[in-house]
């Protein structure tokens, strides 16, 4: 369900990265949606299928009624167990609603510094084409100069793409393992 939007684009700022010294895979979205910013939790919009996909791909499936009860802490533990971190390509932007195509005034995070501080990361997964496009726009050669085993651009986990992305993520797991 899309959150109603007003006529003025709101200022959005990214959340802090979820990363530690064990993180080997980083998933980069574009910018958190309104629900995520308000709750200060990645992928907090209940219609976004990100957490469902993470559980299906990286964890044994849970009964549907149990998934609703998972705390944010439990969700982050699945990522940590699989050495996965989260962040966003944009540090700030203006956006009407939640959709990436309504972004303007974007500022990109400092990935040269980020990857020098987290040189154990060997895989980047872009959660959506816009995330990859913004990254390449600011750092056109960074993916070539850093020695990554694999990087992959998926369709965004927004509700619009829900039926199409589970296969992509399942294929991605075989590349990572």
Q: Distance between CA atoms of 62 and 109, rounded to whole angstroms? A: 34
Structural contact between residues 102 and 158, judged by C-beta atoms closer than 8 angstroms: no
Distances (CA, A) of 166 to 10, 104, 173: 31, 29, 11
Is 127 part of the annotated catalytic residue set?
no
CB atoms within 10 A of CB 8: 8
Q: Which of 7, 13, 45, 48 is catalytic?
A: 48
- The secondary structure of 13-34 as a DSSP string is EPPPPB--TT--EEEEES---H
Which residue bears the tokens 């369900």? 1
Q: Distance between CA atoms of 172 and 170, rounded to whole angstroms? A: 5
Residues assigned a catalytic role: 48
């Amino acid at each position: 369900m899309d959150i109603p939007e007003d006529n003025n684009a709101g200022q959005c700022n990214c959340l802090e990265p979820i990363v530690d010294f064990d993180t080997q895979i980083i998933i980069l979205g574009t910018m958190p949606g309104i629900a995520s910013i308000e709750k200060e939790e990645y992928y907090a919009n209940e219609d976004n299928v990100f957490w469902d996909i993470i559980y299906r791909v990286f964890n044994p499936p849970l009964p549907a009624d149990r998934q609703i009860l998972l705390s944010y802490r439990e969700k982050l533990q699945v990522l940590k167990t699989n050495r996965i971190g989260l962040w966003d390509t944009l540090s700030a932007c203006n956006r009407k609603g939640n959709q990436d195509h309504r972004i303007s005034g974007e500022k990109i995070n400092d990935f040269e510094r980020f990857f020098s501080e987290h040189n154990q990361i060997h895989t980047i997964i872009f959660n959506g084409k816009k995330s990859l496009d913004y990254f390449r726009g600011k750092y056109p050669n960074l993916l070539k100069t850093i020695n990554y085993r694999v990087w992959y651009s998926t369709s965004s986990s927004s509700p619009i793409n829900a039926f199409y992305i589970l296969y992509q993520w399942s294929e991605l797991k075989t590349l990572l393992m």
